Amino acid sequence: MSSETTAGRLTVHALDTAQGRPASGLPLRLYRLQSEGRTHLGTWVTNSDGRCDAPLLQGNALTPGIYEVEFDIAAWCSDPGFYDLIPIRFRITDPDAHYHIPLLVSPYGYTTYRGS
């Protein structure tokens, strides 16, 4: 692989477990965290499958560091239940890897893990 590009990518998938379907139309934001603060890298909205149409980061944009994705539950759901915003902080160590963050959400609970 050339030193100019990497094969890595960052993707998300949101599922509404209360309704048993993808969480379509869910806004999310991605930040890179550094000692000076955080840098906003982009804003997306999930599609009808609960995914974004393209990776949040890929290639040379995927660099080692600490990141945070914020799922804006209040903007997505007219009755969000207990959660307003769900931030997930994670670490990128290998720019050639696929980092996948599933979010399973309901009005009073959520879970996430590193998917494949």
What is the rounded distance in angstroms from the CA atom of residue 35 to the CA atom of residue 28? Answer: 23
The tokens describing 14, both together, are: 């949101």
Domain boundaries, the chain: 9-112
pLDDT tens, per residue, the chain with 116 residues: 444 566 899 999 999 999 999 999 999 999 999 999 999 999 999 999 999 999 999 999 999 999 999 999 999 998 878 999 999 999 999 999 999 999 999 999 999 999 98
In CATH terms, the fold of domain 9-112 is Immunoglobulin-like (2.60.40)
DSSP 24-71: TT-EEEEEEEETTEEEEEEEEE--TTSB-SS-SEEGGG--SEEEEEEE
